[in-house]
């Protein structure tokens, strides 16, 4: 019997990432991802977390699923505008 507690997700074919159906699942996954990275940092780089990448929010993709990201809202929106310009 497995002791892992995974958050239910669906695979997003457009973004090639895990997608969460509702905000509750996305918040839960975000909390788990942050805790996992913080535990890793405490064990492997004591005293400093500089340069450590960690998810800090989620966003909705065109498919309607929620994805975790480390990017700020401003940076993400700028990149999304570039991507939509390329796709157009």
Tens of pLDDT, residue by residue over 2-33, are 556 789 999 999 889 999 999 999 999 999 99
pLDDT of residue 88: 40
Query: In the 8-state DSSP scheme, what is residue 70?
Result: S
Instruction: Give just the sign of the alpha carbon dihedral 49, 52, 54, 56.
Output: positive
**Local confidence band at 86 (pLDDT 50, 70, 90 cut-offs):** low
pLDDT of residue 38: 86
Distances (CA, A) of 73 to 22, 33, 51, 57, 65: 19, 19, 19, 9, 17
Domain ranges of the chain: 10-46+54-87
pLDDT of residue 44: 81
Tens of pLDDT, residue by residue over 43-76, are 887 777 777 778 889 999 888 999 999 888 888 8
pTM over 0.85: no
**67: nearest Cα among 16, 6, 32, 2:** 16
Q: Rounded distance, CA 6 to CA 29, Å?
A: 8
């Amino acid at each position: 019997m497995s002791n892992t507690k995974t958050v239910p997700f669906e695979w997003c074919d457009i973004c090639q990432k895990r997608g969460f159906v509702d905000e509750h699942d996305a918040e839960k996954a975000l909390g788990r991802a942050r805790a996992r990275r913080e535990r890793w940092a405490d064990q492997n780089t004591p005293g400093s977390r500089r340069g450590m990448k960690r998810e800090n929010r989620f966003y909705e993709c065109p498919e309607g699923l929620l994805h975790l990201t480390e990017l700020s809202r401003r940076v993400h929106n700028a990149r999304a505008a570039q991507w939509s310009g390329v796709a157009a």
